[in-house]
Chains A and B, each alone.
Chain A
């Protein structure tokens, strides 16, 4: 009797389907489906190429990668692939998958392949301007390099080159020199396939073919900078970097982007103590080779004229800030804090994990309080409990790769394209590959959701809970253990929503991840910058957890539950707290910016740790300058829970990180922090083993039905666009100009009732204030409008006192009357 071995129970991974072939006489085995060009790379043979890009679908357009190929026939004899009668036909290795027994001869061993490659190179160069000495790409140009290694020494071309008037702006940020372009279509394919923004296209035909935009529509994409990077020649350049530097002048350092929770790997190029550009670094597990325009272009903030360079203290006589020495500032700060009695700590989203840990410990050990909150945005107690129960200290959870494997991804309170660009790109990849379906509970079908092919479950702001509850029973979605739920930070403001999410995850077995907007938030949570959460996700309420922490700290942990951001500010305004320590908080981001400003202004004693002058430094009693990310080492924790360490880029900078400042104050307070450096902070943080005790219970807040908008008004849906206002986006006009026009979106019926046309100016108002924005249409409910939270100089919280769910009014701004009446 034969026994069929049963597969069940065996954990051994299926042996990968391997294909064996020879390349230049070297035998190699690679997974089935591998392209010849990459199989060659694996044995160290570099076949020249232009159009090929591992993350784009193959096109075989440039023909640079031709190789000679022979295949075994039915009789086992090798047969060279032939073309026109009697001629060997070299094959494009970038489009040809490997096959068993295949024999590949590259330029190294085949004179035919070599000649074919030289021929193509010569053809590419006939119309190329050969202006390498003045080209940004010079020195790092695949065309230049490959022409050196695979081209002929001299051109035989004596005729007339194709020329174009140069260069043209395809967006405010991206310039195109058409005569340098080799028409590899990497840029257009990236835009269409990866980003989903086909606002650049190949236009014209034949030798006149070129990359183009529609005359009235610039290349608008949150990811446009990637095309500059993948252009294999200097055809695409950035307005910001153009003519700024030569590659050999630059020092490159790998780093991690600080603009969102994506954890994208970047490369920072600097010269003479200044960052001059940033590029995507290849991290296949995280951002692959792509970054957002914000990650690429928004780095000038660190060099603005208002950058703080020395400590300041408020002069008792003049009431003005005056420069102070570090020792004096430490002493003044410590004295003030001691005198203030009870002090709250507010941290912003820019903190690294190590700096955040410094604040978490400083609050508990030096200030003896749990009044600390990293959420410098609208938040809730329900969220705090949700973070404690489901997120804090859990380490690596759902990963980018998991998204590609998921059968369904549910987006709740999250607009990935605007709030987590790296995540958006991976979701789009998963969607395009066909295996992952995407669902979103959202007020309308945004462009970003459309690009994800998302099924949108419509919910007005404040009405998400029933929609979330319904998802468990949605037959089409059929959420199960193969699914992933991604929750954005915005859901915090909807009572009952995060409670419902926890239930949904439990009911369906779907995995859950929390996606904050800011790079520092997950790290701050893990490090303990939340009243009820101690380092490593330990619940404050748990005595064992407090003992754990106290053991590492050599001190007791205060037990009184902490206040949240709004609570801390309210307590400061009411005098219940005598002081504040504020680290990189933009008051305009808070739920009530006006109240926040008033609270900071009236607080007894304020210590501010900041990069640049701000609304907080304006009222602070002591101001400490701290280092931006490029000037210190550290790490961020991505939304996945992945620790993303980075080194100091600008070695020469003597700017100090937050922990150093905190240590200085703590010393003066007589409660030393125990570390002064990032490295030491990191080492101590690592002492916290993962918490295997009880976690906080899931929140169980009941939904409270959202109030309908009063007659004549609409409910506001809002989030931040990627390119918008904010201190960390200052300083690159081209970057801002490439962003979207701030636009209120309304339903078609609302547009009609306003008597407006798309693009008209409308006034958005509340009892607090008004703002004028352009108007557009989306598939919103008639009583809901959407507007960007903070773009184009309009901040809804600050200017209108409005946030998600607020009632707002709309009216058409009459067009200016034409100056001259047209004659009848």
Chain B
């Protein structure tokens, strides 16, 4: 249900922008946070607040892949199967997870814990094969590490992103995407090893950019 509180937050999002309709994407993220997916009620609430038709909101909600129409599990597990990750093992990982969890693409385990999906390139190719859990990086996966990962998630054990904080729930993540901070920005490292590899080589060799002309 879209509570009055959620409605107030939806209005708050719209108010951040010079033109309220710009808030629609984050508003739909908030709807997902509140409802576990984009519901009819959520669409109607957005339409009402922005003064546009529900058809227009639907047009937007169905355009973007992060908006889900079926109820989501607590954890969205996205296996990158774009070419590079796929070749490096993403396809195998995805197959293994389907089998292990007993679900197909875009399906949720019976316990409601995990929704499995294959995703497109997530800008982490130097950490291939990559798995995203609630849009946090799980770098350099293998079929074994990935099955362990989903087992841990299902068991409720603490799982940390390789480049991020302790994994929160999908709904909590959607709330952050809607622009409501969860205070976790300082968790996790600055970078993973691949990010730093060039810098390390430069340091080892004493390579630097030229001295600047200091304006």
Contact = CB atoms under 8 A, between A and B. Distances in A.
Nearest to B57: A214
Interface in A215-232: 215-217, 219
A198 B54 contact: no
Nearest to A204: B62
Given A202-B59, A203-B58, A215 B40 contact: yes
A213 to B, nearest CB: 5
Nearest to B64: A205
A201 B63 contact: no
A194 to B, nearest CB: 15
B59 A201 contact: yes
B55 A201 contact: yes
A784 interface: no
A214 B55 contact: yes
A213 B62 contact: no
Contact of A204 (B53, B56, B63): B63
A784 B89 CA distance: 70
A203 B40 contact: no
A217 B54 contact: yes
Among the interface residues B44, B55, B62, which one has the most CB atoms of the partner chain A within 10 A?
B55
Is the contact region of chain A dominated by helix, strand, or loop, or is it mixed?
Answer: loop
Contacts of B58: 201, 203, 212-215
B53 A199 contact: yes
Contacts of B85: none
Contacts of B54: 214, 216-217
B55 A212 contact: yes
A202 B63 CA distance: 9
B43 interface: yes
Given A214-B43, A215-B40, A216-B40, A205 B63 contact: yes
Contacts of B44: 216
A148 B6 CA distance: 55
Nearest to B61: A203
A200 interface: yes
Nearest to A197: B53
Contacts of A203: 55, 58-59, 62-63
A202 B59 CA distance: 6
Nearest to A220: B53
A204 B47 CA distance: 18
Contacts of A198: 52-53, 55-56
Interface string A519-549: 0000000000000000000000000000000
Interface residues of B, number: 15
A213 B55 contact: yes
Contacts of A199: 53, 55
B176 to A, nearest CB: 24
A559 B64 CA distance: 75
A551 B57 CA distance: 67
Interface string B42-85: 01100100001111111100111000000000000000000000
Nearest to A208: B62
Interface string A700-724: 0000000000000000000000000
Contacts of A202: 59
B120 to A, nearest CB: 12
Nearest to A191: B55
Interface string A99-139: 00000000000000000000000000000000000000000
Contacts of B57: 214
Nearest to A202: B59
Contacts of A200: 55
Contacts of B64: 205
Contacts of B53: 198-199, 201, 214, 217
Interface string A169-207: 000000000000000000000000000001111111100
Contacts of B55: 198-201, 203, 212-214, 217, 219
Nearest to B43: A214
Among the interface residues B43, B54, B64, which one has the most CB atoms of the partner chain A within 10 A?
B54
B202 to A, nearest CB: 34
Contacts of A212: 55, 58-59, 62
A126 B53 CA distance: 33
Contacts of B52: 198
B95 to A, nearest CB: 24
Among the interface residues B44, B52, B63, which one has the most CB atoms of the partner chain A within 10 A?
B63
A200 B58 CA distance: 10
Contacts of B56: 198, 201
A738 to B, nearest CB: 15
A167 B183 CA distance: 50
A217 B59 CA distance: 13
B138 to A, nearest CB: 27
A204 B59 CA distance: 7
Nearest to A205: B63
Among the interface residues A201, A215, A217, which one has the most CB atoms of the partner chain B within 10 A?
A201
A198 B44 CA distance: 15
Interface in B138-194: none
A201 B58 CA distance: 8
Interface in B90-148: none
Among the interface residues A198, A213, A214, A215, which one has the most CB atoms of the partner chain B within 10 A?
A214
Among the interface residues B43, B57, B58, which one has the most CB atoms of the partner chain A within 10 A?
B58
Contacts of B40: 215-216
A239 to B, nearest CB: 20
Among the interface residues B43, B57, B62, B64, which one has the most CB atoms of the partner chain A within 10 A?
B62
B62 A205 contact: yes
A43 B40 CA distance: 52
B37 to A, nearest CB: 14
B10 to A, nearest CB: 17
A552 B57 CA distance: 64
A203 B67 CA distance: 13
A215 B53 CA distance: 12
A215 B62 CA distance: 12
A205 B63 CA distance: 5
Nearest to B51: A450
A203 B60 CA distance: 7
A423 to B, nearest CB: 24
Contacts of A204: 62-63
Nearest to B63: A205
B144 to A, nearest CB: 35
Contacts of A213: 55, 58
B57 to A, nearest CB: 7
B56 to A, nearest CB: 5
Nearest to A210: B62
A214 B43 CA distance: 9
A549 to B, nearest CB: 55
Contacts of A201: 53, 55-56, 58-59
A201 B61 CA distance: 12
A650 B53 CA distance: 42
A211 to B, nearest CB: 10
Interface string A338-351: 00000000000000
A579 B133 CA distance: 87
A743 to B, nearest CB: 17
Nearest to A201: B59
Interface in B22-40: 40
Contacts of A219: 55
Contacts of B62: 203-205, 212
A205 B62 CA distance: 7
19 contacts: A199-B55, A201-B53, A201-B56, A201-B58, A201-B59, A203-B55, A203-B62, A203-B63, A204-B62, A205-B62, A212-B55, A212-B59, A212-B62, A213-B55, A214-B43, A214-B54, A214-B55, A216-B40, A216-B44
Please name the 10 residue pairs, one residue from A and one from B, whose CB atoms are nearest each other, closest first: A214-B54, A201-B59, A214-B55, A201-B55, A203-B62, A204-B62, A214-B58, A203-B59, A205-B63, A199-B55
Given A199-B55, A215-B40, 9 more contacts: A199-B53, A201-B56, A201-B58, A202-B59, A203-B62, A205-B62, A212-B58, A214-B54, A216-B40
Interface of A: 198-205, 212-217, 219
Interface of B: 40, 43-44, 47, 52-59, 62-64
